[in-house]
Structure 1
Amino acid sequence: MSINMNSLEPLVSVIIPTYNRLEYLKQAITSAIQQKYQNLEIIVSDNCSSENPQAMVESFQDSRIKFWRHEQNIGMLGNQFNAFKMAQGKYVASLHDDDMWNEDFLSKLVPHLETNPDLILAFCDQYIIDGDSKINLAATENNTRSYKRDQIVAGVHQNFTQIGLMDKSIPTAAACVIRNGVLDWDSIPAEVGGMWDLYLTYLCCVSGYGIYYVPEKLTRYREHEQTDTLLSGSRNTQAKIRKAKSEIFCYQIFMADKNLQEFHQYFKKQWLTANTTLGIGLLRDQQISAARPYFWQTLSEQKFNLRTLVALILSFTPRILSNKILKIS
């Protein structure tokens, strides 16, 4: 389990899936190499980028780096979990190719997992940076408050469904270390799509293990025009449709889980919201007949939902008028 046989530190597998972000990738790899925690394997999995990053990766001349390049694009989810399945470490940590870690990220999280074998993951808070790698303090504080990480007590949490699935406080894809071997990477269905990190959090919540929170900002999450979360919240119709479909699938799974029945109403509300969002996305994409069932589904469960009702009415209005309204919705 350890590359460095003289090290007392367990091996940590750093997963870096990448696609067409050469300069950002270089910064991400640098932040992994510069970790104070040194017993690493760094798995860079390229999803058939137009510009092969192999030469840049090899320029680091670091034997801990393993480079894998797919011969064809297998999708974001496939690339991510292919890398997870390659991991040989006792622990795994996902690092997006456009994000960075502080040098003490691993050294402050891994020891908590080593001390307590009943923990499945350890996580921290994060900075928000822009396309030029500058910290946005206002966005950072807003991010912390939005995900209620400012309200989480430092230390061990045994029952963390509220933290993980309702507050979505755990940045599974960007700022946590996971105990490898507990989760079955092959069991994660393709339908989770871009919501794979939420589904991964769900699997951790029902695993029977606990988690540990370190209330420090130890990672740097980059927000720029290609960030998935910005795309899905923008005018990018296809990104909105993809995200809504993934949410619908995830919340259906959560609602059906008998272990999570106390949270059923919350999951149902999120599921209905995603139905309306998908319908609006389909309307924008001129798929009117495909959109209406999602509005009817929501209204059959919530007799009065203004957002859904307006969207349904728009689906019956002249296309020119509805398009103008949808562009500002």
Structure 2
Amino acid sequence: MMENYNLKKPLISVIIPTYNRPEYLKVAIASAVQQTYQNIEIIISDNCSTTNTQAIIESFSDTRIRYWRQPTNVGMFANQMHAFQMARGKYVASLHDDDMWNEDFLEKLIPPLEEHPDLILAFCDQYIIDANGVIDDAGTEENTRSYKRDQLAQGVHQNLVKIGLVDKSIPTAAACVIRNDFVDWDSIPPEVGGMWDIYLAYMCSISGHGTYYYSERLTCYRAHEQTDTMLSGSRDAHAKIRKAQNEIFCYERFMEDERLKEFKSHFKDKWLEAHTTLAIGLLRTQQVAQARPYLWCALNEQKFNLRTIAALTLSFTPQQLANHFLKKAK
């Protein structure tokens, strides 16, 4: 009976890229396996972890799991894209190895896409949880407000540029189901790096297709010390540099696209912010000469920006004194 039930429902590809997070990975896989929507394949792409990922997968004894281990560490972006390229489903959904889904996540997001074949994706709101999986109520409410999902009505929306790229309401990496054949995964440039999710939102935005918003919180995003935004010291500086470089590439692409000209000034502001962010990362790693051109560019274009002026001033400050202030810079 279950096989007949599944045959009536389209196949969903659940994408889980992973690297050295065995305990979190168990939770993520469990949340996929336990979905009330059963016709799924679970694609786990392991970026050459030093932990025994295969043993974790075998512990589930679930034939729907497809496991791929990279022979060497290919980087986060390449590992993520490889998993998408393995997908055979009508729809794909990305699940971070440290996040989790409610058991009815797919059951609630697939029907709107089946009902509206012109929609490219469906998404929902999400909880913020800590390293131990405890819901952060204040953080959850702040996240919903920050991405303006509190202002979105449940249902079909057509203006994906505003929703996806300006408000960034669509969490394409964690709380979204996408129609697979509407996306050319090979066309996502490697320069987007960790910003692949916002670039994916860009591709969906210019596709001419709409989206469906389901206003319930159906996923959990884990905020913990291993995420780039929570790192400290030198690792934080290098994460800041990578992220800023990726942002500069993305926002430059958005600025150049005539289809997005209504919001060009917004993207330019974000592009300039990324210049300052990159410069601060370079200053933290004592690459002062490399940092200044980004600061001068930002200052010339923005005319007056306190954050940029402060960073530029620190680039002329003795290193020991500058480090004290750079530790607090964002």
| TM band (smaller chain) | over 0.9
Partner residue of 2:72? 72
Which one-letter code corresponds to 1:69 in the other structure? Answer: R
Which one-letter code corresponds to 1:193 in the other structure? Answer: G
Partner residue of 1:270? 270
SS across alignment from 2:109: helix
Q: How many residues align?
A: 327
Cα distance in structure 2, aligned partners of 1:89 and 1:263: 34
Partner residue of 2:255? 255
Q: Provide closer, same or farther for how the CA distance between residues 252 and 178 of structure 1 changes in structure 2, counting only shifts above 3 A.
A: same
* Runs (5+) with no aligned partner, structure 2: none
Single out whichever of 319-328 and 58-67 deviates more from structure 2: 319-328
What is the deviation of 1:199? 0.4
Partner residue of 1:26? 26
Matches within 5 A, 1:1-329: 7-231=7-231, 236-329=236-329
TM-score (norm 2): 0.96
Deviations, residues 46-70 of structure 1 (Å, cap 9, x unaligned): 1100012102101211111111101
Cα distance in structure 2, aligned partners of 1:65 and 1:327: 43
SS across alignment from 2:52: coil
What is the deviation of 1:230? 2.8
SS across alignment from 1:45: strand
Contact 2:160 2:204 in 1 (8 A): no
Structure number with higher helix proportion: 2
SS across alignment from 1:121: strand
Contact 1:232 1:240 in 2 (8 A): no
Cα distance in structure 2, aligned partners of 1:275 and 1:21: 32
Single out whichever of 98-107 and 49-58 deviates more from structure 2: 49-58
Contact 2:234 2:285 in 1 (8 A): no
TM-score (norm 1): 0.96
* Runs (5+) with no aligned partner, structure 1: none
Contact 2:6 2:38 in 1 (8 A): no
Which one-letter code corresponds to 2:76 in the other structure? Answer: M
Cα distance in structure 2, aligned partners of 1:234 and 1:144: 31
What is the deviation of 1:129? 0.9
What is the deviation of 1:135? 1.0
Cα distance in structure 1, aligned partners of 2:54 and 2:158: 42
SS across alignment from 2:50: coil
Single out whichever of 251-260 and 180-189 deviates more from structure 2: 180-189
